[in-house]
A and B are shown apart, each in its own frame.
Chain A
Amino acid sequence: MSFVLGLLTLALLFIVIVQISKASELIKTLRSGNEQEETFSNSALFVTILGFGILIYTLVTCVYYKPHLLPKPASEQGVWIDNLLTITIILTGVVYVITQILLFAFVYKYQYSKKRKAYFFPDNNKLEIAWTIVPSIVLTILIGFAIQKWFKIFSPAPKDAIVIEATGKQYAWTLRYSGRDQKLGKRDFSLVNSDNELGINWNDPASKDDFIADELVLPVNKAVSINIGALDVIHNFWLPHFRLMMSAVPGVPTHLWFRPTITTEEMRKETNNPNFDYVLACNKLCGSGHYNMQKKVRVVTEEEYKAWLRDQKPYYLTAVH
């Protein structure tokens, strides 16, 4: 019933709008004897108010949403990205405000007047060169900073990094830790069966102490090296709080390393949220359960990490024994 009423109201609204417009059209036809009399001051004012209104809206929302954005980056790599982001925000923000103001100020200031003539100004090479060169220089500097960090982020992991393997499948992550020997047991596609989905080669001695964890637990301030892969379709390994992301592709191994710098406990204080948790989510459409493919991430102190390690049982024992 309410749906029908809603539709009726909507239809009436449209009819009212159309009728008003028809009336204004009629007035225009009556006046059209002298086309030059047309003025555009109302419409110029309309566009100007909309334009400046929107400019204010966009700036106010920036302030409003600031506290809702991601908390400060929880990894060394994240800090680099965050700094670059700040530079980019300032740069593009300035251009945004200036160009929007000019656009709508021109609309208002140079609105049509019978008394005035537009200024015939077809080209000016100096201006064109100026706004070719200035953006080029600014962008070159920006690219310089960015690429330097890019290569640092994708440099080889330090030798002492903790090695973890993350494998995506619909709709879960399997996390395999390399255990005491810091070496992941080899995998072989031909060994895959329903009891050994990853195709781990149990003859490889390195596989014997590997264990599967149901949370991504990381010690603070230690480098972590993550081998990323997928079984069925492409997934994406996304750690928003660490500002790190990498695709998980079946058949193409990928890799990421980083150094977490803030423990979960510290971050809970930082964000004033006692329930705060880091999360690992999937960020590449992988099917109908894509929106719920997550794992909890816990950054702990060195001691807590060691204690946690002691509780983990090798996968070999549970899967084969």
Chain B
Amino acid sequence: MQTSTITEQQAIQHAHGHDGAHHHTETFISKYIFSLDHKTIGKQFLIMGMIWAFIGGSMSVLFRIQLGWPDETFPILERIFSSWFTDGKINPEAYYSLITMHGTIMVFFVLTAGLSGTFANILIPLQIGARDMASPLMNALSFWLFFIAGVIMFASLFLPTGAASAGWTIYPPLSALPQVSPGSGNGMTFWLISIVLFVASTLMSGLNYVSTILNMRTKGMTMFRMPLTVWALFFTAIIGILSFPVLVSCVVLLIFDRSLGTSFYLSNIVIGGKALPFAGGSPILFQHLFWFLGHPEVYIIILPAMGIVSEVLAVHARKPIFGYKAMIFSILGITVLSFLVWAHHMFLSGMNPFLGSIFTLFTLLIAIPSAIKVFNWLTTLWKGNIRITPPTMFAIGFISIFISGGLTGIWLGNSTLDIQLHDTYFVVAHFHLVMGVAAFFGMFAGVYHWFPRMYGRMMNDTLAYIHFGITFIGAYLIFWPMHFIGLSGVPRRYYSFNEIEAFSQYATTNKIISAATIVVFLAQVIFLINFFWSMFKGRKSTQNPWHANTLEWTSPIEGVHGNWEGELPTVHRWPYDYSRDPESDVDFIPQTVPLSEKEKADKLHH
């Protein structure tokens, strides 16, 4: 019933002509490469993110092979990566370059650009009823800056001295002095330049997202009628705008220390019995500046995933998201607190222990909005009518993994427990689950959910089930045992566990983890096959395949420049009117449907 009204409206709008849509002849290059259309730019971010995820993931396979089978030799790998291997084994330098690159690529290129970039671009204009971003040109520039940053980062892998190898957190003095680590030579210079370009890209897109959301909402789309995806992307952009510039200042001071002989981060350094001429700097200053971005960064990664999961759950559970406003305020709470917790990465860095107590307090406070969100998701499922489609599976997997990884945050945010757990494998388990795997699950939920919106076709369900099953089980097989390894005192970032007796007992566990890593990595190939195959050969999607309420499903499925032919849609209600009327046989009321007389009388509307 509802769908037919929409098609009628569209037919009418179509007859009005193309006053809103911009039509001009497009070449292949202007349409697919240097496009200004937010939908194309979103897809560019997605494909680029997938390429980077593949590169970053294959790096983890390489270093997991070393950790799982430290005594074996792999001549075949040596033939492929000859400069990284000696006698069939990976070199420690190459190992540390790979973990550094894996972290950098996953955090910045995949889970920031790939996740936010994709969904902010595709969803913001479509869900608020705008023709495009506030500045399509800046939007395109943002993608191309990200692309160049990626090219530079990738090129650094082929430098004779190797890529940066000081960990993705690049703490000086290790990252500042080429004498102490070959990766801190040109590799680090490339890293720093790449990140500065990346931040410029993030700022351009962030400012664009915020101004689009604030200024370009269609008629009737008040802030409190926006889907939670848009709210999440809105706060994500704000966090990025406020914190990423601090990373630039942090990085620029490091560049000065490296090339101009300043001493912002360096003091009293002795190498090989020779005192270096640095005085008065503090390596701890770097950590403060780095984590002032570094911690908000994890919320930049997880908030969009949370938004996607909220939307996907409501649609597929056929139920309004529980506590819409509580969800918004908890995102706001997370946003504010995300700026007050950075030093929980530094409890044992040498900063004053008094600061540790303050940061423990704020850090544990952030557990409260996170808990509210989890309880609200659970209540959304309660008494729902849940369709377990591929996006739903990944959304549910997200919640499970977010709980598992989030609860250990209460351990690590506690400065006293951090004395035992800091920088052990427990931390690796925690953050991979809560912001790595969880964010990936949010991303997969989003891709499976909006694929029909992006390409007008459905993805294959069977392949998606296999993909989900292997990835979900694999995620736990990989990261759950790391909690125990960490609780046994084993530090992270070790090239081998055989040298120190106390840490050498987990050979079998490490083999299992490495084997699971390889299987999970291969399972992502199933996703890639599904993605590209469905793009051309998938079942054709209907206009609104999930029976969702939000505006993006009213825009023509083939995708037109300007998003809607004729006038922009008008919004009359919030996006979560699912199963509103128990009498009706349709269990959703799109945002474009005016309130009925009965609803007006009820005053129940949102």
Contacts and interface: CB of A to CB of B under 8 A. Distances in A.
A190 to B, nearest CB: 8
Given A14-B529, A118-B587, A135-B367, A245 B422 contact: yes
A194 to B, nearest CB: 3
B12 interface: no
Interface in B259-284: 266-275, 279, 281-284
Contacts, number: 381
Given A143-B414, A247-B348, A279 B367 contact: no
A157 interface: no
Interface string A168-206: 011000000000000000000110111101010000000
A312 interface: no
Nearest to A89: B411
A85 B410 CA distance: 11
A236 B423 contact: yes
Interface stretch (B32-40, B55-63, B153-161, B376-384): B376-384
B400 A103 contact: yes
Contacts of A57: 476, 480
A318 interface: no
A233 B357 contact: no
A123 B322 contact: yes
B180 A123 contact: no
Interface in B519-561: 522, 525-526, 529-530, 533, 539
Given A43-B393, A147-B357, A18 B463 contact: yes
Nearest to A155: B353
Interface string A6-48: 0000100010011011101100110010000010100110110
Contacts of B488: 68-70, 240
A170 B180 contact: yes
A40 B579 contact: no
A143 to B, nearest CB: 6
B383 A118 contact: yes
Contacts of B416: 80-81, 84, 146-147, 149-150, 153
A286 B174 contact: yes
Interface string B112-126: 000000000000000
A116 B368 contact: no
B135 interface: no
B273 A95 contact: no
Given A24-B461, A121-B383, A285-B166, A143 B417 contact: no
B376 to A, nearest CB: 8
B512 to A, nearest CB: 11
B377 to A, nearest CB: 8
A103 B399 contact: yes
Interface in A230-266: 231-234, 236, 238, 240-241, 243-247, 249-252, 254
Interface stretch (A125-133, A158-166, A212-220, A298-306): A125-133
Interface stretch (B204-212, B446-454, B490-498): B490-498
B361 interface: yes
A231 B414 contact: no
B356 interface: yes
A110 B283 contact: no
A163 to B, nearest CB: 19
A291 interface: yes
Given A135-B371, A233-B174, A120 B320 contact: yes
Interface in A63-96: 65, 68-70, 77-78, 80-81, 84-85, 88, 91-92, 95-96
Interface stretch (B43-51, B302-310, B336-344, B465-473): B465-473
A249 to B, nearest CB: 5
B499 interface: yes
A32 B466 CA distance: 22
B283 A123 contact: no
A321 to B, nearest CB: 19
Given A28-B461, A58-B404, A151 B357 contact: yes
A159 B387 CA distance: 68
Contacts of A29: 539
A58 to B, nearest CB: 6
B273 A193 contact: yes
B374 A99 contact: yes
A123 B325 contact: yes
B360 A279 contact: no
Nearest to B173: A233
A31 to B, nearest CB: 11
Nearest to B171: A234
B268, B393, B481, most chain A CB atoms within 10 A:
B268
B384 A95 contact: no
Given A192-B270, A291-B495, A117 B579 contact: yes
Interface in B167-196: 167, 171, 173-174, 177, 180-181
A247 B268 contact: no
Using C-beta atoms within 8 Å of the partner chain, give the interface range for chain B: 35 or more
B385 to A, nearest CB: 4
Interface centre among B364, B522, B526 (most CB of A within 10 A): B364
Contact of A283 (B177, B407, B422): B422
A169 to B, nearest CB: 7
B400 A51 contact: yes
B349 interface: yes
Nearest to B378: A102
B360 A123 contact: no
Contacts of A118: 317-319, 383-385, 578-579, 587
Nearest to A80: B416
Nearest to B463: A21
Interface stretch (B23-31, B228-236, B434-442, B500-508): B500-508
Nearest to B175: A233
A240 B489 contact: yes
Contacts of A317: none
B181 to A, nearest CB: 5
B461 A107 contact: no
Contact of A25 (B177, B270, B460): B460
A199 B91 CA distance: 34
Nearest to B320: A122
Contacts of B367: 135, 139
B462 A285 contact: no
B147 interface: no
Interface string B551-593: 0000000000000000000000000101110100001000000
Nearest to A95: B407
A189 B372 contact: no
26 contacts: A40-B389, A57-B476, A57-B480, A69-B488, A81-B419, A85-B411, A96-B407, A103-B400, A107-B386, A110-B382, A112-B386, A119-B319, A119-B579, A127-B375, A131-B375, A139-B365, A139-B368, A147-B361, A231-B269, A232-B173, A240-B502, A251-B267, A251-B282, A251-B283, A252-B284, A279-B501
Interface of B: 76, 91-93, 96, 165-167, 171, 173-174, 177, 180-181, 266-275, 279, 281-284, 317-326, 348-350, 353, 356-357, 360-361, 364-365, 367-368, 371-372, 374-376, 378-379, 381-389, 393, 396, 399-400, 403-404, 407-408, 410-411, 414-417, 419-420, 422-424, 460-463, 465-466, 469, 472-473, 476, 480-481, 484, 487-489, 491, 493-497, 499-503, 505-506, 522, 525-526, 529-530, 533, 539, 576, 578-580, 582, 587, 606
Given A150-B415, A291-B92, 11 more contacts: A54-B473, A70-B487, A84-B417, A103-B403, A131-B372, A147-B416, A283-B423, A288-B96, A288-B495, A290-B495, A291-B500
Q: Enumerate the 4 nearest inter-chain pairs by beta-carbon distance, A residue then B residue, closest first.
A: A240-B489, A251-B267, A194-B273, A65-B484
Interface of A: 3, 10, 14, 17-18, 20-22, 24-25, 28-29, 32, 38, 40, 43-44, 46-47, 50-51, 53-54, 57-58, 61, 65, 68-70, 77-78, 80-81, 84-85, 88, 91-92, 95-96, 99-100, 102-104, 106-107, 110-113, 116-124, 127-128, 131-132, 135-136, 139, 142-143, 146-147, 149-151, 153-154, 169-170, 189-190, 192-195, 197, 199, 231-234, 236, 238, 240-241, 243-247, 249-252, 254, 275, 277, 279, 281-292, 294
